[in-house]
Chain A
């Protein structure tokens, strides 16, 4: 088994765990953490792609590495935004849940204008 295969399997496990957590965990903070795990798995997968595509004596194809850097920036900003929203939600309601989502309650008093 080559190193790329091992890391590929690791990436798959991380993606699977992340997906599981994102879908099953009811707490938003855990969902955010699960999203980060999922993202790490995807980035690792990009690393595997870079390694497999490497040619002519390079240690790795640089393009996927550039993509991963961008991806990490995007994931970081997404996490920051999600945590900020979660904090505001907690300040407003003293609880952090995504449960009560009946659309009737989702805006009994929208500002409308």
Chain B
């Protein structure tokens, strides 16, 4: 993959200035907005967005035309002394995703965070637009940073911009959620920082390319790898380190939730990918990759089952994020090549990144749709959603399309991701991950179906919307959902390592049939595990259904209740802190044992 040509690492390539621009433009936006203040903040944000979007497109085109990674050496100093910015295919597609989501969120947030002429300048809009641009700049740094310390600073910037977004409305619960998020993220970044110190002490550089040539399996390196990985997992909220995620993502305003869930957790995930695939592909070994994916599998089960038991729409989506984060980590063992005993950048990596991109677009659309439903109804209890399908058809459609895209119906990006991961599982002869991947799809369809079933139920009397929902807000959500649904048609092989036998023809009948059975299975699961109120009696055969599935439902519900209790315990601060230490020790021990 990208860093194969050593000559390219030590020079600024053509188009390297684009990388600098992609950092400078959002940061300049933040500074100008900060100085301008008042009504101008939003204008500055809207002026920055097309610029940033154009730069992301330009980087994609430059990468496609040169065929190699772009690089820029700051001040012309070469790596062990200087700092390099590098953009390979992974960075470019993630930057493009970020640009698309941020622009859509900007359009969506125009109503909620505007300062109409004549009104007093409020703090929330001022903070929102500046933080939005701040997150953009910080994420671009994460995707472009060429050394581990730059990545640390970028990661902290992402966190510092994300935490205030959680508590924009200043309610006590959101302040608490923000503080928990900040403190736990700081714990994670401290572990990451210890890891960088160890690596610098051992090899005298933190540059990713130089390190990748120098690292070898010493105890200090492996301890550093374990600490950094676990620190990043805490920031990504991989189960069991997810204590901060549900309250933070569910409590924030809709536009902020969309950014937090779609992009912010991907920042730290991206650094895990950099660390495992680029810095030290040969070090973690088979067992550590299995362990990482095992936590991913646990996240899928816990996140999905608890999502099914939530009463509020935003919490369903927040727990769904938890499950989808687990899905992202399934690629690590599948990328492991036993021959060279290292992680290969191949189909599995592409599958994982595609999953991240699809989740980013789909989840942002779902959070926006949920926000519109909340604004329209004045509440977002799932049991009270009846009739909303008629009152807000476009929002519900956006939610449905986002959900369908996440489930992996062709031609969505998640479909392609699933195919690539399944193919990698067959090639690596790791059938157990096939089971987990399929189960993930089934779980996803179950909670999407529960919500849709409630939203499409007829209401006793027509729903009266509390506020009129502007058309372009719904259009922004719908556009993102469509984007996620059509991602499978993008020619990814220009940017990501796609194997030759790529599953094309996503519109073929066979592929559709393959995509259908997880939905049916998910429907069954939804019937057994979902929250159903008395409305079930109104649908045809509802009573028969209750009589048939009643006993099975009671058993499964008891199991679900147990999972929920375990989740409640794990989300206590001391338990989460201890899990963090235990995970660090586990990863260290597993890597040392495999040495």
**Which residues on A are within 8 Å of B, measured CB to CB?**
15, 18-19, 22-24, 26, 28, 31-32, 35, 38-39, 42, 45-46, 48-49, 52-53, 61, 63-64, 67, 70-71, 74, 77-78, 81-82, 85-86, 88-89, 92-93, 97-98, 100-113
How far does the Cβ of A12 sit from chain B's closest Cβ, in whole Å?
A: 10
Tell me the bound Cα distance from A64 to B204 in angstroms.
9
| CB atoms of B374 and A101 under 8 A apart | no
| CB atoms of A98 and B179 under 8 A apart | yes
Is residue B169 within 8 Å, beta carbon to beta carbon, of the partner chain? yes
| CB atoms of A107 and B251 under 8 A apart | yes
When C-beta atoms are compared, the residue in chain A nearest to B111 turns out to be A113
Extra pairs beyond A31-B183, A39-B190 (14, CB < 8 Å): A24-B574, A42-B194, A52-B201, A71-B152, A81-B163, A89-B175, A92-B172, A106-B247, A107-B250, A109-B171, A110-B252, A112-B314, A112-B370, A113-B375
How far does the Cβ of B60 sit from chain A's closest Cβ, in whole Å?
A: 31
Interface magnitude class on chain B: 35 or more
How far does the Cβ of B511 sit from chain A's closest Cβ, in whole Å?
A: 37
Interface string of B387-422 (1 = CB under 8 A from A): 000000000000000000000000000000000000
| CB atoms of A101 and B375 under 8 A apart | no
> What are 26 inter-chain pairs, A to B, with CB distance below 8 A?
A22-B183, A23-B574, A26-B573, A35-B183, A38-B190, A49-B197, A53-B204, A70-B153, A74-B152, A81-B160, A81-B182, A82-B186, A85-B175, A89-B172, A92-B171, A98-B183, A98-B573, A101-B247, A103-B318, A104-B311, A105-B173, A106-B250, A110-B174, A112-B254, A112-B380, A113-B254
How far does the Cβ of B594 sit from chain A's closest Cβ, in whole Å?
A: 25
| CB atoms of A107 and B174 under 8 A apart | yes
Is residue B176 within 8 Å, beta carbon to beta carbon, of the partner chain? yes
- Number of interchain pairs (Cβ within 8 Å): 164
What is the interface of chain B mostly: helix, strand, loop, or mixed?
Answer: helix
Which B residues between 16 and 38 are near A, CB-CB below 8 angstroms?
none
Please pick, from B153, B163, B164, B176, the residue contacting A98 in the complex, using a CB distance under 8 A: B176
Tell me the bound Cα distance from A39 to B156 in angstroms.
14
Tell me the bound Cα distance from A46 to B164 in angstroms.
30
Tell me the bound Cα distance from A40 to B252 in angstroms.
32
Is residue B121 within 8 Å, beta carbon to beta carbon, of the partner chain? no
Please pick, from B180, B194, B243, B251, the residue contacting A110 in the complex, using a CB distance under 8 A: B251
- In the complex, chain A residues whose CB is within 8 Å of the CB of B314: 107, 110, 112
| CB atoms of B251 and A106 under 8 A apart | yes
- In the complex, chain B residues whose CB is within 8 Å of the CB of A101: 176-177, 180, 243, 247, 571
Tell me the bound Cα distance from A112 to B149 in angstroms.
37
When C-beta atoms are compared, the residue in chain A nearest to B157 turns out to be A74
Interface core residue of A38, A42, A89, A106 (most chain B CB under 10 Å): A106
Interface core residue of B186, B311, B573 (most chain A CB under 10 Å): B186
- In the complex, chain B residues whose CB is within 8 Å of the CB of A32: 183
